[in-house]
Structures are given as C-alpha cells and as structure tokens.
Amino acid sequence: AELGVPVWPQGDGDLGARLERVLARALTDAAIAIAVGTDSPGLRAQVFDEARAALMTADAVIGPTDDGGFYLLGLRRCPPGLLADLPWSASNTYAETSARLRERGLSVVELGRWFDVDRADDLSRLHALLDTGAIIAPATRALLGVPRISIIMPVLDEERRIGRAIDDVLALSGRKEVIVVDGGSRDRTLEIARTKPVRVAHASPGRARQMNAGATIAAGEILLFLHADTSLPRDALALVEHTFIDPAVVAGAFHTWTVAAPGEARWFAPLLHAADLRSRYTSLPYGDQAMFVRATAFHRVEGFPDQPLMEDLELSRRLRQIGRISTVPARVRVSGRRFLARPVFYTLAVNLFPSLYRLGVSPARLAKIYQHVR
C-alpha cells in the first residue's frame, strides 16, 4: 500500500460477515485484533490503549456509540459465525452484538461511549468538537476545510499598520484563518480590516480580553497571537506545526528581532537589539514573540488572565505547568516604536517589570507606570 500498510479485501456479505472475516484473519498472526470504524473521528490514543489493556484479560472489548451502534470491536478469539445475522445500522446493533459475544462464551469489556457520523446533525456535532479543540482529527479537519491555525490579532488604533499587517499574514502558506479583535479603535482600523478576507470581532479594551475573545471564536486547533507591529517569517506556519510534532509541547514562541521603520531611527537605533536578548534566554515567552499554543491547552488554563499587564508572562507560567514550551529557531520582526519613543524608559520596563511582577508587584500597579506608546 502507499503508506506501507497492508490492504486486505473485505470480501462479500453484510457488515458482520466482512468484519468477522477480517478479524479472524488478523488473529491468525496476532494475539489480539481491533477493528475501528472510519466514521468515528477524533478517537484519542488512550481509547486504543484501554482496548489493548482490556484484551489482556477479556475475550472481547466493544465501544458503544450514542446512536446504538459501536465504534470499536476487539477480539482475542473469533468463533465461526460470531457476527452472523446481526442487525446493522440499527438502534439495537450494539445491544445485539454485545449479547451475541456473551452467548458465544466470550468475556466482554465495554469502553466509554463515543459517536459516529451517520447523519447531518452528526456533522454539526463534529464541527463543534473540532472548533473547541475537544477532538483533534487532522485529516477530517482538512477535508472539512477547518483551519489548522487561527492567527489572532488584537488591535487598537492601528490604522497605519493594520492593512499591511493583515496582508502579510494572508500571504503565509498553510491552512489558517485570521481573526482581528478590535478593542474600541477611534481611527480607521476597523474600516480597513473589514476590507480584508478576515474575521473581525470586538472586545472591551485590554489585550488579554481581546485575545481571549478571539480564541473563543477561533476554529483552529492551534492559536497564534500576533501583535499588529510584529511580522512573521514566511515559513512561520510550517515551523509552528513542526513544533507540535512533539506531543509534550503545549506552546511555543519565536525569537524577536526589533527594527526601526524608515525615518524612525535615531543614533541609538542599534540599541534596539538589546531588547531581543530576552527572547533568546527566557524560558517563558512574551507576547511580542508571537506566542502560539494548542487550543486545548489554552482553554485548559482558562486563557489569558484578565489583567492590564504581564498577561503573556502569566499565561506562559500556567502553560509550563501542564507541558513544555518550545522556542522556534526563527525570528519575528518587531517594531521598535516604543523603544525609539522612550528608549530609557522602555529598556527599564522590558527588563525590570517582569522581575517586579515575579516579586509580587500587581499588574495594576505596573500598568500605572507603563504607557503604551503608539
């Protein structure tokens, strides 16, 4: 077969005859055999571990579906005629199959209930589970056109940058959606965003609230939070997906490369890169590093805390408690506008505020000192 997996013909007969034939063949070369339906997407690896463990002591294991069928059947032995003349695609398929197994003297273990996709309302349920990250089914997600990565951009009065920022993100290759969350802009930010093929949402002012609002409506299984003054590398989405090949990784971020826009640079512009040192040595990424996180992990830690400052650091701390955080060996370009406007103050803020926060100074108190320079 193309993927190096052997392909067996099912043969003739109803579903029971074909299923029994394949299971019996598998048992000629293996101690146990497990069949699973292709119409039950999103089954976790844990389910198969439970099935294998059950077959260490029981003769059969079966997983019921909500509509009366079953999504998995595992056997340690398969007497002839075990699945003959049973009702299929019926509300009593599971009950009759389970009873038949016991009638033939097999000990049976029942797995947790799941669902299969037989009707239109099943597709609606599938979409909802994919949207919330409750299940991860990459092939199904691709078939349904569900984006792999949701890029969430919190904005406020960014009319000078938002158009180019959105265009740059849309030019990236990969299955993605772009969500712009406005915090009450008084300029043309919203007007410009609405001319682009992106989703536009609203939230009360505050970067944490805006990013949480975007995450709530995001369809991707990966959430990437991007500031309007930060630009991703061309291969950013591929790098993000590669990071999550390791199942232990729950989040990640890029290194930063801070630059001055034409006409902004002054004699101290080279000092911009001093701010980039933090992204190279910290184990807890900050928002300007284009943080990305598994949607399931993000919702598990309840998203960004509703605080005026250091919400990114606090999210990183919470995520590190449940898994690994990886730094991608690539750089995002960050505008040096805040540094160039107030170089001494910004340098102190970047380097001192995180330490003060760790020492217990409240985000509200820090926010009174810090001012967003735009």
Sign of the Cα torsion 279, 366, 179, 338 reads negative
**Does residue 188 sit in the same domain as residue 316?**
yes
- Beta-sheet pairing, 324-335 with 292-294: unpaired
Q: What is the number of domains present in the chain?
A: 2
Tell me if 154 sits within 8 A of 206, measured CB to CB.
no
Whether residue 176 sits in one domain with residue 325: yes
Question: Domain for residue 65, yes or no?
Answer: yes
Question: In this structure, what CATH number is given to the domain that contains residue 76?
Answer: 3.90.550.10
In the numeric block, which tokens belong to residue 131? Answer: 């949207």
Q: Which of residues 110, 138, 163 is at a domain's end?
A: 110
Domain that holds residue 93: 15-110
* H or E, element range at 259: strand 249-259
Note whether residue 366 is domain-resident. Answer: no
Q: Would 340 be classed as within a structural domain?
A: no
For residues 73 and 133, state if they share a domain: no
Residues 19 and 65 in one domain: yes
Residues 163 and 303 in one domain: yes
Same domain for 142 and 105, yes or no, is: no
Residue 369 in domain: no
Helix-strand-coil percent breakdown of the chain, rounded to 5? 40, 20, 40
> Are 212 and 84 in a shared domain?
no
Inside any domain, residue 362: no
Same domain, 103 and 187: no
Q: Which amino acid is at 278?
A: R
Q: Is the pLDDT of residue 277 over 90?
A: no
Residue 328 lies in a domain: yes
* Mean pLDDT of the 285-313 span: 89
The predicted-structure confidence for 39-64, as pLDDT tens digits, reads as follows 888 888 899 999 999 999 999 999 99
Residues 6+ apart with CB under 8 A from 256: 230, 275, 276, 278, 279, 288, 289, 331, 332, 334
- Is residue 345, in this structure, part of any structural domain at all? no
Residue at 20: amino acid letter: E
Please indicate, yes or no, whether residues 139 and 81 belong to a single structural domain of this protein. Answer: no
**Who wins on pLDDT, 148 or 138?**
148
**pLDDT tens-digit profile of 323-356?**
999 999 899 998 866 665 555 555 555 566 666 6
- Structure-token pair, residue 186: 């008084």
Please, which pLDDT band fits residue 369 given cuts at 50, 70 and 90?
low
- The proportion of the chain whose per-residue pLDDT surpasses 90, expressed as a percent, equals 58
| Statement to judge: residues 97 and 172 lie in one domain | no
- Is position 342 within any domain? no
Q: Would you say residue 1 has pLDDT above 50?
A: no
Residues 134 and 60 in one domain: no
Q: Is the pTM of this model over 0.75?
A: no
Q: Is the pLDDT of residue 313 over 70?
A: yes
- Same-domain check for residues 97 and 69: yes
Choosing from 60, 81, 110, the residue where a domain stops is 110
